[in-house]
Amino acid sequence: MRLFVAVELEPRARVALAAALEKLRRHPTLGATSVKWVETRNLHLTLQFLGEVEADAAAAVAGALAPASPLPAFRVTLGSFGAFPPRGAPRVIWVGVQAGAPALGALREEVARRLAPLGYRPDRQQYRPHLTVGRVRRAGGRLREALAGAPSGSEIETVAWGVRRAALFESRLGPAGPSYRVLAELPLAGGAD
């Protein structure tokens, strides 16, 4: 099983982000750029990628994540578009987190703490919460210019939601692309407005 731990978007946040992505896709400076866009239903904020995991190990991971967290629920607001790497030919298009990044970082640390005894370690890179929205196949236009002129800040400020849980997902690859299934939840304390 291919597993990861992430935070999902609420449905209304998905709708608002889908509208912003449609504006970006139609931006005139994209030109001949070829992008594999992530399906709106699959958008998430990854906390930790686990990779291929055997079924018995997946059950242990689910058990480690099951107890409720003392961390409080919180709100996330998305910010502007960007690309990785920051220089050279872009390979990944993302949307950054404008509000809620420290809380996401704390939640990521809790997930890492719970999974470390099972042998799972998070990436060593500094955690920069973001939504991957596209993977660049061929950069043929002026992608960075399109991203700079894309909907951002005030235009996608409606893309905000309350985070009340993290989830363990199984990713299944199919002819129509990946599909995700929740295997376990890590509930947060309290509620978010």
CATH number at residue 69: 3.90.1140.10
Percent of the chain at pLDDT exceeding 90 = 46
Question: How many C-alpha atoms does 88 have within 13 Å on its Cβ side?
Answer: 4
Q: Which of 3-12, 76-85, 134-143 has the lowest mean pLDDT?
A: 134-143
Q: What is residue 109's predicted lDDT score, i.e. its pLDDT?
A: 94
193 in a structural domain? no
**Number of structural domains the chain divides into:** 1
Question: What pLDDT is attached to residue 140?
Answer: 62
Query: Could you tell me if residue 62 is inside a domain?
Result: yes
Sign of CA dihedral 56, 62, 66, 69: positive
**pLDDT score recorded for residue 154:** 44
Catalytic residue list contains 44: yes
Q: Residue 10 falls within a domain, yes or no?
A: yes
Q: Specify if 34 maps to a domain.
A: yes
Query: Sorting pLDDT into bands at 50, 70 and 90, what band is 17?
Result: confident
Instruction: Compute how many other C-beta atoms are within 10 angstroms of the C-beta atom of residue 181.
Output: 11
164 inside domain: yes
**pTM across the whole model:** 0.86
Q: What confidence tens digit (pLDDT) does each residue in 72-102 have?
A: 999 999 888 888 887 777 888 888 898 999 9
Q: What's residue 44's pLDDT? A: 93
- Looking at residue 150, its pLDDT comes to 59
Catalytic residue among 27, 108, 130, 164: 130
Position with higher pLDDT, 181 vs 138: 181
pLDDT of residue 184: 94
Q: Which domain holds residue 170?
A: 2-187
Give DSSP secondary structure letters for 11-76. HHHHHHHHHHHHHHHT-GGGTT-EEEEPPGGG-EEEEEEEEE--HHHHHHHHHHH-SPPSSBPEEE
Active-site residue (options: 4, 17, 20, 44): 44
On average, the pLDDT of the chain sits at: 85
27 is catalytic: no
Give mean pLDDT, residues 121-134.
Answer: 86
Neighbours of 151 (CB within 10 A): 21
Tell whether 192 is covered by a domain.
Answer: no
Confirm whether 82 is domain-assigned.
yes
Query: In the predicted model, is pLDDT for residue 147 greater than 50?
Result: yes
For residue 72, what pLDDT is reported?
Answer: 95
Confidence check: pLDDT of 193 > 50: no
Between CA 178 and CA 86 the distance in angstroms is 27
